[in-house]
Amino acid sequence: MTKEDRVVAVAASAHLLTHAYMMIFPTVLVLIAADKILGIEEYFKLGAIATLCYGLFGAGAIPAGILADKFGSKRMLAICMLASGVSSLLVGISFSVYILIAGMACLGLAASIYHPAGLSFVSRNVTRKGRAMGFHGVGGNIGLTAGYLLSGAVAALWGWRSAFLFFGVLGVGLGVFISKLPVEDKIGVKKAEKKTQDRVVLSSMLVLFMVYGTSILYGMCYRGFMMYLPKHFLHHVDFALNSVATAGLLVSIVSLSGTVGQFLGGSLCDRMKRPEFAYAVLFLFITPLFFAISFLEDWSLFRASLVFAPFFFAWQPMQNTMIAKYASHSGHGLSFGVNFTLMMGIGSLAASVGGFVTDKLGVAYVFAVLGLISSLTLFFVFFMLKLLHGPKEARADNRL
């Protein structure tokens, strides 16, 4: 295995566990609501706890990115995994609402370290960034699958706390392994990556602005989809009714189908001269599928979700590759941190909004709301493309 392969493998493994941690709570949501010891029955309150966790998951990314730029990505990766594992163990032993809230908050804050540290670790040490981001994204999708599948199965057998304990042990083990890995960080600026002044202005003022702007809206779609899809399947797929394990299995299959999109997105970024146009194409497919998922049931709902996932997840490697391409090399950690804070920090609001909609109207309406947000994202992308590729910009592109 080459050095670059080791870098991608380590980052993908940490990415896997990070997303698995974030998927445990929505998978066992119904069991937590039924826990008489905790006494939390309202989904709005559970959604608020999720918002706290996911909000810190996003908010902590900016300081984590600064630390990754200063002290090195590998060191921060090790800290991320160790802290996430310990936090998950704390949630697993919680028999009080306050300990549960504290544990979920710590888990969100610890997991927030991953994306700026892991993505900058890959971008600084790998040549074919699109391909690497695709494999990195696959690790995240497998983590979503493992989070749903394993936590659902373990919780069905031994209770919801056992799911957090199981993944907590894995996180501590991976953190120890990363701390001993013989790979050094590259933090210095690459002179070969210096661009002309026109390219710098275009990148910083337009391309990155577009990526950050779409991140906010995509983050809301992502969090709402991943948070409430298990419950949607639980109530609208006949063969999964009232079965947390079966619903977790179905959502795991959907998440796994998203790995196709990760490879697709990474490949397009390596091949396309202007990969930002792919944003518009993806949301043209995503938006109507959100509305379809909101009213379909049984096998039709499951099939629509399988078609939806590859397009939905293809956006992520495209986004990460664009940041790696246009952001300052020495500031990759901060750039990824800002992006992730916008995506997951503001996106975490979808957990509370979705809880409110579920309590008042039903979980199916959550996906109709996400369809409206996706429509807004599509209009935003078209507006930004017009700014990027208007007559003046087109002439500037020809000079680059």
Domains with residue ranges and CATH for the chain: 3-182+194-399 (1.20.1250.20)
> Which of residues 20 and 252 earns the better pLDDT score?
20
**Cβ–Cβ contacts within 10 Å for residue 127, how many?**
7
Task: Give the residue with greater pLDDT, 317 vs 131.
Answer: 317
The percent of residues above 90 in pLDDT, for the chain, comes to: 17
| Higher-confidence position of 143 and 322 | 143
For residues 234 and 156, is the Cβ–Cβ distance under 8 A? no
- Give pLDDT tens digits for 146-167: 887 788 889 888 888 899 999 9
Cβ neighbour number for residue 344 with a 10 Å cutoff: 28
pLDDT reported for residue 102 = 92
Pick from 42-46, 59-63, 71-75: least confident: 42-46
Query: How far, in Å, CA of 211 to CA of 219, rounded?
Result: 12
3-state secondary structure of 226: helix
Taking residue 275's Cβ as centre, other Cβ atoms within 10 Å add up to 19
pLDDT at 108 over 50: yes
Average per-residue pLDDT for the chain:
80
| Token pair 């933090």 in the structure block, residue | 187
Burial of 1 (0-12, 13-18, 19+ CB in 10 A): exposed
Distance CA 305, CA 261 (A): 13
Q: What angle do CA 283, 287, 292 make, to 5 degrees?
A: 145
335 vs 151: CA distance, rounded Å: 32
210/268 Cα distance (integer angstroms): 18
In single-letter form, the type of residue at position 395 comes to R
Give phi and psi for 170, each to the nearest 5: -60, -40
CA-to-CA distance for 328 and 197, rounded, in angstroms?
A: 13
| Matching residue, tokens 């948070």 | 227
**Highest mean predicted confidence (pLDDT) among 78-87, 187-196, 232-241, 262-271:** 78-87
Question: How far, in Å, CA of 148 to CA of 29, rounded?
Answer: 11
**Would you say residue 237 has pLDDT above 60?**
yes
Distances in Å between the Cα of 71 and the Cα atoms of 78, 165, 179, 184, 320 are 12, 30, 13, 11, 21
**Nearest residue to 147 via CA among 75, 84, 103, 99:** 84
The token pair at 107 is: 């888990």
Q: What is d(CA 157, CA 31) in angstroms, rounded to the nearest whole number?
A: 12
DSSP element (H, E) containing 296 = none
- The pair of structure tokens assigned to 209 is 């602005």
